[in-house]
Amino acid sequence: MSYTKLEKTFYRLSQLSQASSFLGWDQQVMMPAKGNDSRGQALAELSVIATEIIQSPELEDAFAAAEEEVDLEPWQKINLSKMREKWLKANAVPKALVEAQAIASNQCEYAWRSLRKQNNWKDFEPQLTEIFNLSREHAQALVTGLEKEKTYQNEYEALLDLYDPGTKLTRVDDVFDALKQVIPELLHQVLERQRLQPKPTRQSHSIDKDRQVALSKHIMSLLGFDFDAGRLDEAAHPFSGGSSDDSRITTRYSPDNVLEGLMGIIHETGHARYESGLPKAWRNRPIGQSMGMGVHESQSLFFEMQVGRSEHFIQAISPKLQQYLGRDPAFETDNLLTLYRQVTPGLIRVNADEVTYPLHVILRYEIERDIILGRMEVKDIPERWNEAMLSYLGLDTRGNFTDGPMQDIHWPSGAIGYFPSYTLGALTAAQLFSSLKKDVTDVDDLIGKLEFTPIFNWLEKNIWHNASSLNYDELMTQVTGETLNTEYFIDHLKNRYL
């Protein structure tokens, strides 16, 4: 009975989280400006209710009793351990610290929006210092609170574990070391090769929004997005949300640069397909949730990088672009391939190509890890940032905070330990795609015919349907025969860009 009681508690938490997710979507997409304060209050209250539920003292007895229950099915035992982990993480951290973090990150994120525009590192630095201090405290609380359950190598690993449960720091270091050894030389070769190639042509005519919406929806439908179970809307800062049965993707439409947003939509469709492919039988239970940010990103990058930017896909959608948007030399296959595979070392992570992106991530990882572990301070970030950008990408960033260490929302909003997921996701996607090619014949041919069903079935069976019932290493071994191996990603880059 205690197990059932715990399931009810986590069902309630799941419903609260779902309510917050849609209220948050509405806030970004629909809400008029003056609704913001009361929306903030409502979201804050739902969050306090959820915290009180998971910190309720009676849960301790319920967990103790549930551990003794002998008639649990194997999946229920896994679910119990997932509930336990969430409960431990939520209770390891003092309420006062959680509140202090919420206030500090709200303030810092708010200040960041204007300070970034003003290139004002000086006023940003003390606020960011506070964010990192509180995050370090949070990490220390996790290390102490979970010492019987988890053997975190250090505080930073405890933060990683919040975003990507089970990821070890040694894994991250091994992977990033390998990439640091290979990518700079690879980048050099790619740029050399690219110099001899034609430059991509930009779109020549302005395209109204209705046509862009129609094209976007058509491509999403081709990729299996079910518009009876989701929507595509506009948002000033695109994001995705919603729930498994109701995916909410957002984008921005630029009349003069249609191609920029298109890959973003394919990317978000991958996130949405993962969520909607999670098993219905496990809904509203921790075992039924997605595995973590790394695997989530692997699905969006599988859609975007492995499928969306592949030669066969681009060949197949070039006529669609001409059909929906009108004829334009920019929409010819060769130009699309050139454009969507352009490699350019740049200052901004979110604009980075596949080759340079990991270096942006590694830079951020090294800095945030070293601050959490007390090896450097927030005030040292600009210097360290400049050194790394010079060394990794040959770019001088001195004095440019806006497009330097102030460019991302992650740090001011308190999301420390998140960045590695992006690159772990890219590597996972490459490895999964390689396995797909072994399991399903003629993958390129299927993509070229826009016949994705066998590919989606493979993803559903191998990834989506497992939800959180396996850990990451188990999943990768089961699907690809080995744990994460950097070679697949490096081969992918070499094949595509050399």
- CA geometry: angle at 26 spanning 56 and 215, to 5°? 130
**Does 19 help bind a second copy (rule: CB under 8 A)?**
yes
**Does 110 help bind a second copy (rule: CB under 8 A)?**
no
Question: Cβ distance 467 to 287 under 8 Å?
Answer: yes
Q: How far is the CB of 456 from a second copy (least distance, A)?
A: 17
Q: Please identify, using beta-carbon distances, which residue of 42 and 178 lies nearer to a second copy.
A: 42
**Does 227 help bind a second copy (rule: CB under 8 A)?**
yes
CA 345, CA 352: separation in Å to the nearest integer? Answer: 7
Single residue of 2, 5, 22, 239 touching a second copy by CB under 8 A: 22
* Binding characters for a second copy, 233-272, by CB under 8 A (x = yes): ---------xxxxx--------------------------
Residues 6+ apart with CB under 8 A from 209: 253, 255
In the DSSP assignment, the letter for residue 224 is T
**Does 221 help bind a second copy (rule: CB under 8 A)?**
no
Which two tokens mark 463?
A: 């990834």
Residue 48: is it exposed, middle or buried by C-beta count within 10 angstroms (0-12/13-18/19+)?
middle
Single residue of 5, 23, 90, 279 touching a second copy by CB under 8 A: 23
Q: How far is the CB of 18 from a second copy (least distance, A)?
A: 5
Q: Please identify, using beta-carbon distances, which residue of 72 and 90 lies nearer to a second copy.
A: 90
CA neighbor of 459 nearest in space, from 427, 492, 436, 480: 436
Single residue of 165, 166, 224, 230 touching a second copy by CB under 8 A: 230
- CA geometry: angle at 490 spanning 450 and 267, to 5°? 40
Q: How far is the CB of 281 from a second copy (least distance, A)?
A: 14
CA 248, CA 239: separation in Å to the nearest integer? Answer: 9
Q: Please identify, using beta-carbon distances, which residue of 67 and 233 lies nearer to a second copy.
A: 233
How many residues bind a second copy (CB under 8 A)? The answer is: 36
**Does 123 help bind a second copy (rule: CB under 8 A)?**
no
Q: Please identify, using beta-carbon distances, which residue of 28 and 119 lies nearer to a second copy.
A: 28
Is residue 377 helix, strand or coil? Answer: coil
Q: How far is the CB of 183 from a second copy (least distance, A)?
A: 41
| Residue type, position 345, single letter | P
Single residue of 5, 77, 283, 320 touching a second copy by CB under 8 A: 283
Single residue of 34, 148, 195, 237 touching a second copy by CB under 8 A: 34
**Does 40 help bind a second copy (rule: CB under 8 A)?**
no
**Does 57 help bind a second copy (rule: CB under 8 A)?**
no
The beta-carbon contacts of 71-75 under 8 Å, at least 24 apart in sequence, are 72/3, 75/282, 75/287, 75/469
The β-bridge partners of 246 are 243
Q: Please identify, using beta-carbon distances, which residue of 251 and 407 lies nearer to a second copy.
A: 251
Task: Report the side by side order of strands in the sheet with 240-243.
Answer: 230-234, 246-251, 240-243
Residues 6+ apart with CB under 8 A from 71: none
**Does 279 help bind a second copy (rule: CB under 8 A)?**
no
**Does 457 help bind a second copy (rule: CB under 8 A)?**
no
CA 200, CA 195: separation in Å to the nearest integer? Answer: 12
Q: Please identify, using beta-carbon distances, which residue of 41 and 322 lies nearer to a second copy.
A: 41
Q: Where are the alpha helices (DSSP H) in 196-281?
A: 209-222, 258-277
CA 444, CA 312: separation in Å to the nearest integer? Answer: 6
Q: How far is the CB of 92 from a second copy (least distance, A)?
A: 25
| Residue type, position 91, single letter | N
CB atoms within 10 A of CB 370: 16
**Does 46 help bind a second copy (rule: CB under 8 A)?**
yes
**Does 446 help bind a second copy (rule: CB under 8 A)?**
no
Question: Cβ distance 48 to 109 under 8 Å?
Answer: no
241 membership: H or E segment, kind and range = strand 240-243
Q: How far is the CB of 227 from a second copy (least distance, A)?
A: 6
Q: Please identify, using beta-carbon distances, which residue of 106 and 477 lies nearer to a second copy.
A: 106
Single residue of 35, 126, 329, 394 touching a second copy by CB under 8 A: 35
Q: How far is the CB of 325 from a second copy (least distance, A)?
A: 22
Q: Please identify, using beta-carbon distances, which residue of 49 and 64 lies nearer to a second copy.
A: 49
Which two tokens mark 110?
A: 């708010």
**Does 195 help bind a second copy (rule: CB under 8 A)?**
no
| Interface contacts to a second copy, rule CB under 8 A | 11-12, 15-16, 18-19, 22-23, 26, 30-35, 37-39, 41-42, 45-46, 49, 226-231, 242-246, 283-284
